[in-house]
Structure 1
C-alpha cells in the first residue's frame, strides 16, 4: 500500500472505509462506551411509538457511531502520511438498524495550500447495504509541510 501524499491528491480521489455490520450487541456496546442509554437504542417496545412524524419500528444505532466510522476511515487514511484529522461535520440522513451493513467513504473535493499549512476537504458519506445514504458530511485534514515548502 502506498502512502498518500498531499501532492499526489486530486479533487475526485476517493477513500473507502471499513464495512460495519450493525447488531444489537454493537449498539449496546456503543451505549456502554458513550454512556448514552436512550431507549431509542435499547427498547423495542418504546420504539414502537411515534416521535413527532417519525416511526422507527425498533431500536436504531447511535448517529455518533457513523461519526466514529468516518473518523476511523479518515485517520486510517491520513495517519500514514503524517496528516491530522482536524474537523468533521456530519448530518444523520436515515436511521440505521440492527442487520444493516454500513460503510463510510469519502471524496476529495478541494485542496488548499498556504505558507503555513496544507489542507484537504473531503465530502464524506455513510451508506447502507442498499446504497442509501445514512449520514453525510465534510471532513478537513491537514497535511504536514514538506521541508522544501518552508
Structure 2
C-alpha cells in the first residue's frame, strides 16, 4: 500500500537498508553506465591518484541510496527531486566488498503540496558518504 501523507510525522523512519557492493558489481555498473574510469576497478591506478583503493562509482552509490525510498513510495514517479553531496569515497575491498547503510527519515512535510522531504543518512564504515542527501516525494 502506498504511503499516505497524513500518516507521516517528521522524524519517522520510512526505510532502512544495507547495500553491499562487490568488485563484480562495479564492473557490471561500469558496463551499464559506460563509466570505465580505472579508479573503479584497478587498485594501482586508484592509489596512484591518492585514493585508498578501488572506489564505487558515485552515481552507483547515489542510486543505491535512493532505492529504499523509491520502494517505500511505491512508484518512482513520486520522487520529484533528489540531491546529494559526495563527501567520502566508498572503498570496495577485493574480497569483502563494501556495505553501505541507508536510513531514510521524514525531514519535513509540506501539507499544501503534499510533499515529504526524506532525509537520507548514508554511511560506510561508520562515516557519512553522501551529505545533504534529500529526496522530495509527492504523496498527493
TM range (shorter): 0.7 to 0.9
Picking from 60, 66, 69, the partner of 2:64 is 69
What 5-or-longer segments of structure 1 have no aligned partner?
Answer: 145-150
Report the structure, 1 or 2, having the larger strand content.
2
d(CA) in 2 for partners of 1:5, 1:39: 44
Instruction: Give 1 or 2 for the bigger CA radius of gyration.
Output: 1
What 5-or-longer segments of structure 2 have no aligned partner?
Answer: none
Partner of 1:97: 91
d(CA) in 1 for partners of 2:68, 2:56: 19
Output the TM-score relative to the length of structure 2: 0.86
Paired positions, count: 135
Higher relative contact order (CA 8 A, sep 6+): 2
d(CA) in 2 for partners of 1:86, 1:7: 19
Output the TM-score relative to the length of structure 1: 0.81
Partner of 2:114: 118
Spell out the pairing of 1:1-150 with structure 2 (5 A cutoff).
Answer: 3-50=2-49, 55-79=50-74, 84-98=78-92, 99-114=97-112, 117-128=113-124, 130-136=125-131, 137-144=133-140
d(CA) in 2 for partners of 1:29, 1:103: 21
Write the deviation string for residues 3-55 of structure 1: whole angstroms up to 9, x where unpaired: 521101000011333311121101111101111001111221111213xxxx2
Native 8 Å contact 1:83 1:143 kept in 2: no
Task: Assess, with a 3 A threshold, how the Cα gap between structure 1 residues 24 and 83 changes in structure 2: closer, same or farther.
Answer: closer
Q: Which runs of 4+ in 1 moved over 6 A?
A: none
Task: Give 1:89 deviation, angstroms.
Answer: 0.3
The Cα RMSD (Å) is 1.9
